């Protein structure tokens, strides 16, 4: 292939810049506005291939004017060289040298035993990973060289009877639900009165079912069934049939008391006469005066018994006594008197002791200038009131601090962004971090320090 338009090949095969032609105009390839706007004249017609001349006149110096046959230049040997592969190989060897130097420096440096052991483990892991990568690369190259199509295995989930398993699980679930519902129904109870009512209804239902069962057992042997012919529809009602009119309801009767049936002596009315009322009132007044004991509840009207006077009171003679009884009574009274005297002496001695102790306490308090019991009680009340006020003040401060902290917390929560906003902020921070890393790496590569990115950490 020929070299570019601005290059030429010398006799020894070297490639160099072509000398500029005197007649060739100069023009800029990146500035279309500076190109000449005058059109070129068309070439003269010729009977050669395509109507275009295959030769152009050139002089010895390269200017137009002489004829020369177009000959393709040979491909330079530099084009056929594998320069990119050589550059990659040199870069790889340089990185290997750097890694070896870093490994030597790392081996010369003294690390703690634990860190040195961890470094050896990491190196072993790296070697294993490199070996695995090489093996996988070899396998992939062999597989690509073979280029044999191999279908991926069918997943086990496709062959599993998932639908049947789901149906069995659903059936088992329904059975568990029904069993649990039955258990809960057995354990459930109603309030006492409703439970009693339900039990009575259950007993009645069981009794009714038992009677029906007994009746069915008794009638199962009765095979005779009389045949009853139903009346035809045309003869069910005779001609001229008229239903009887319903009977009117009876008229309501007024309510009557039993006392309304009392008759007066003349028997002329259903209510007592004024004469009868006067007679009854006179009898009641007479009874109030002369017969108080004949009225209820002292005496029944059906048993006219006269009251009797109570028997006269009879004096009860004292029980007989003896000398031993009198002596025993005297001894008991003497013992009781002695106990009373002893108790009185003990009470007096206790009272005197308390008085003496009180006097001694007063003297000691006066000598030591101690407060009295009243002052001590008053002081205790004041101290209790002070403690109560301090406790209330402390509680009020705690409540105020709690309310302040709660308000601050609510304010912080209100200022915080929503979850989707926080996600967007985190994503933006991550993108900015990655952009900074990429910028740092690109800066290292521009400065020729990209080998530092591959150093072992």
- Please report the sign of the dihedral spanned by the C-alpha atoms of residue 375, residue 380, residue 381, residue 385: positive
Average pLDDT estimate for 373-384: 87
CA–CA distance, 212 with 93 (Å, rounded to integer):
106
pLDDT digits (tens, 9 = 90+) for 109-129: 666 777 778 878 888 888 898
Question: Average pLDDT, stretch 306-320?
Answer: 74
DSSP 248: P
**pLDDT at site 268:** 55
Strands (DSSP E) found in 10-107? 15-17, 56-58, 64-68
More confident call, 58 vs 77: 77
The pLDDT score that the predictor gives to residue 11 is 45
Q: So what's the pLDDT on residue 15? A: 46
Q: Which helix (H) or strand (E) holds 9?
A: strand 7-9
pLDDT at 143 over 60: yes
121-125, 160-164, 239-243, 391-395: least confidently modelled range: 239-243
- What mean pLDDT do residues 137-155 have? 73
Decide: 370 and 364 in contact? Cβ < 8 Å. yes
Token pair of 85, please?
A: 């592969």
Token digits of residue 216: 């069915």
pLDDT per residue as tens digits for the range 184-209: 888 888 888 888 888 899 999 999 99
Q: Where do the structural domains in the chain lie, given as residue ranges?
A: 83-134, 339-370, 374-416, 417-448
pLDDT higher than threshold 70 for residue 236: no
pLDDT recorded at residue 259: 56
**Residue 438 has what pLDDT?**
87
What's the pTM value of the predicted model, to 2 decimals?
Answer: 0.20
């Amino acid at each position: 292939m020929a070299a570019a338009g601005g290059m030429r090949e010398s006799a020894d095969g070297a490639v160099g810049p072509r000398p500029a032609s005197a007649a060739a105009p100069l023009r800029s390839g990146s500035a279309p506005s500076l190109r000449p706007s005058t059109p070129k004249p068309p070439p003269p017609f010729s009977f050669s291939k395509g109507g275009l001349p295959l030769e152009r006149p050139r002089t010895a110096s390269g200017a137009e004017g002489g004829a020369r046959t177009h000959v393709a230049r040979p491909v330079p040997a530099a084009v056929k060289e594998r320069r990119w592969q050589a550059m990659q190989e040199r870069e790889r060897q340089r990185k290997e040298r750097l890694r070896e130097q870093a490994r030597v420096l790392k081996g010369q440096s003294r690390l703690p035993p634990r860190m040195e052991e961890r470094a050896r483990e990491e190196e072993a892991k790296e070697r294993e990973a490199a070996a695995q990568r090489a093996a996988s690369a070899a396998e992939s190259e062999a597989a690509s060289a073979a280029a044999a199509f191999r279908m991926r295995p069918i997943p086990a989930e496709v062959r599993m009877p998932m639908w049947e398993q789901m149906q069995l699980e659903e059936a088992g679930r329904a059975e568990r639900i029904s069993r649990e519902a039955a258990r809960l129904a057995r354990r459930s109870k109603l309030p006492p009165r409703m439970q009693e009512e339900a039990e009575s209804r259950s007993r009645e239902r069981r009794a009714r079912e038992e009677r029906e069962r007994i009746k069915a057992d008794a009638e199962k042997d009765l095979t005779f069934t009389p045949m009853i012919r139903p009346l035809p529809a045309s003869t069910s009602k005779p001609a001229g049939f008229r239903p009887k009119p319903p009977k009117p309801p009876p008229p309501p009767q007024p309510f009557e008391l039993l006392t309304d049936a009392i008759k007066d002596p003349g028997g002329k009315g259903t209510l007592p006469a004024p004469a009868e009322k006067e007679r009854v009132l006179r009898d009641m007044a007479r009874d109030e005066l002369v017969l108080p004991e004949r009225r209820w509840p002292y005496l029944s009207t059906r048993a006219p018994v006269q009251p009797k006077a109570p028997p006269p009171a009879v004096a009860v003679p004292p029980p007989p006594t003896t000398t031993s009884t009198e002596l025993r009574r005297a001894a008991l009274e003497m013992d009781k008197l002695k106990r009373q005297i002893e108790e009185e002496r003990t009470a007096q001695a206790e009272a005197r002791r308390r008085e003496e102790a009180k006097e001694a306490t007063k003297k000691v308090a006066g000598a030591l200038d101690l407060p009295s019991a009243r002052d001590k009680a008053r002081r205790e009340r004041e101290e209790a009131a002070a403690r109560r006020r301090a406790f209330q003040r402390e509680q009020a401060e705690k409540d105020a601090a709690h309310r302040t902290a709660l308000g601050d917390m609510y304010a912080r929560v209100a200022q915080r962004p929503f979850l989707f906003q926080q996600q967007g902020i985190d994503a933006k921070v991550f993108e900015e971090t990655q952009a900074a890393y990429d910028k740092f790496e690109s800066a290292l590569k521009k400065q020729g320090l990209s080998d530092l990115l591959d150093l072992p950490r």
